[in-house]
Amino acid sequence: MEEIHKKILQRNRTSLVTDLDPSNLYDGLLEKGVFTHDMIDEIKSSGTRREQARQLVRDLETRGSRAFPLFLECLQETGQHRLAELLQNGAPAVHLQPATPAEVVRPVVKPLPVSSPMDVDKQRKDEVPVYPIQRPSSTPSPSPEKDHIRPRPQGRPRRDSIQSYKMDASPCGHCLIINNVDFEPQSELSNRRGSNIDCDKLERRFKALNFIVEVKTNLKQRQIKRELSALSKEDHSQYDCCVVIMLSHGTEVSHNRFPGAVYGVDGQHVPVQLITNYLNGQHCPSLQGKPKLFFIQACGGGEKDTGFEVSPDEVEPSVGGEDDQTDAIPMSSSSDSLSTPDELDARATLPTPSDILVSYSTFPGYVSWRDTQAGSWYVETMDRILEENAATNDLVTMLMMVNHEVSQNSAKGLYKQMPGSFNFLRKLLYFQAQA
């Protein structure tokens, strides 16, 4: 896009965000080749009308020289004349040359190239190339309505090309902790001594991060699903984030998205991929475009990791005691057996949701260790990392710190543990915390 047109968009960003109706523009912008289907889908997923309008204007600046006049045409065609006139005021006259000779049948117009073309590794089935969106790097907006980009503390590496989630609502959002400690005899599962220590730490930590924390203890499978369903029906429109923490026995299950499952105290399990489905964009519209975080302190299976030998320089002092226990249960054959016809929000066949992060205490298939006196390795480490680093570091960076520290531990002087995450976040996430 021409620099003068970019400046016109930036100068009128507040009016565009306030008054633009993006939904009426999508078909026209697609037909004229300004955006591709993937780009339109990304804009739609950004959230409210205002958020979609803001994202549309940002993306428009990355398109070719014909994007601005074609955008004006779309505004006129959809009756948004005031905005069209506003953008034309002071802009040089633009005469569009037809992309192809006029014919009775309109030819397919290829999408406009981005300002700095990049290689792409695949094309659409109809052979129309899909160009990645390049975000403006650091162009300031003169309008009072600024994007939610968290100020960078002194010394933090530059990540100007990556946006940050809005995380300034007060309270920030809901945090549901399900803590299963005492299991019914018929479940043949042992009680989880030390889990209450984990629960207390996490309750205090997320309250300190300005979340509304609710703790539920010793839930059966059906009760777990009922609590998640109730959470999905809450109105989250005034909040910026939602957190679910599962503390229980776990097992490995077959899956097509997120591995693992957690047990109710009745010995019936709930697959992690079904847990995440309750809060995805389809089942919880008020959380669309907002981060949804899941922390799973449970085994991913029954295999014990003895690690492998490394040079002494790679080894740090390890912790762990003779009394460490695991939350492992043998692998279950299917994760789909829990889906029932009357539970639409528990289906495992929905598209992969965006803005979701699932953090596991251990690698899929392996046990997770818990000290009966100090709590689990994973929660103890994560609580301390959040306390020390939440004011300056984003969530993914802090989870990497957790991964590193837990990997140094040893149970009974032999067994290891490796946490990890399935990350579908689109932006950096910084919690509300005091420096």
- Please give the mean pLDDT across all residues of the chain: 75
Listed range (71-75, 123-127, 380-384) with the worst mean pLDDT:
123-127
Q: 194-228 pLDDT, tens per residue?
A: 899 999 999 999 999 999 999 999 999 999 999 99
pLDDT exceeds cutoff 90 at 405? no
Whether residue 218 is found in the same domain as residue 72: no
Whether residue 186 is found in the same domain as residue 59: no
Q: 230-288 pLDDT, tens per residue?
A: 999 999 999 999 999 999 998 887 766 788 899 999 999 999 999 999 998 888 999 99
The conformational region for residue 107 under phi > 0 = left, psi -120 to 50 = alpha, else beta, is beta
pLDDT score at 434: 74
pTM assigned to the model:
0.55
Whether residue 84 is found in the same domain as residue 178: no
Whether residue 275 is found in the same domain as residue 399: yes
Distance CA 56, CA 425 (A): 20
pLDDT score at 304: 38
pLDDT score at 387: 95
Which domain CATH number covers 418?
A: 3.40.50.1460
Distance CA 179, CA 174 (A): 16
Distance CA 88, CA 69 (A): 9
pLDDT exceeds cutoff 60 at 379? yes
Query: Within a domain: residue 208?
Result: yes
Query: Which of these three, 88, 115, 145, is where a domain ends?
Result: 88
Count of alpha carbons within 13 angstroms of residue 359, beta-carbon side: 21
The full DSSP string for 120-170 is: -S---TTS---PPP---SSPPP-SSS----PPPPTTPPP-TTS-B-----S
Count of alpha carbons within 13 angstroms of residue 160, beta-carbon side: 6
Segments forming the whole domain that contains residue 80: 3-88
The full DSSP string for 88-114 is: HTTPPP--PPPSS---SSPPPPPPPPP
Q: 5-44 pLDDT, tens per residue?
A: 888 888 888 889 899 999 999 999 988 889 988 888 888 8
pLDDT, average across residues 143-164? 55
Count of structural domains, the chain: 2
Distance CA 411, CA 371 (A): 9
Q: Which of 249, 255, 269, 283 is catalytic?
A: 249
DSSP secondary structure code for residue 374 in this structure: T
Percent of the chain with pLDDT strictly greater than 70: 66
Instruction: Name the residue among 146, 163, 47 with its Cα closest to residue 430.
Output: 163
For the question of residue 299 being annotated catalytic, the response is yes
Whether residue 213 is found in the same domain as residue 356: yes
- 212 DSSP β-pair partners: 174
Whether residue 52 is found in the same domain as residue 187: no
Distance CA 390, CA 18 (A): 33
For the question of residue 95 being annotated catalytic, the response is no
pLDDT exceeds cutoff 50 at 145? no
Query: Within a domain: residue 381?
Result: yes
Q: What are phi and psi of 352, to 5 degrees?
A: -60, 125
Which domain CATH number covers 69?
A: 1.10.533.10
Give the DSSP H or E segment for 241. strand 241-247
Whether residue 177 is found in the same domain as residue 68: no
Query: Which of these three, 88, 103, 135, is where a domain ends?
Result: 88
DSSP secondary structure code for residue 400 in this structure: H
What are the CA-CA distances from residue 373 to residues 194, 197, 321, 322, 407 (Å)?
6, 8, 10, 11, 20
Give the DSSP H or E segment for 3. helix 3-11
pLDDT, average across residues 181-195? 91
Query: Which of these three, 70, 88, 106, is where a domain ends?
Result: 88
Query: Within a domain: residue 69?
Result: yes
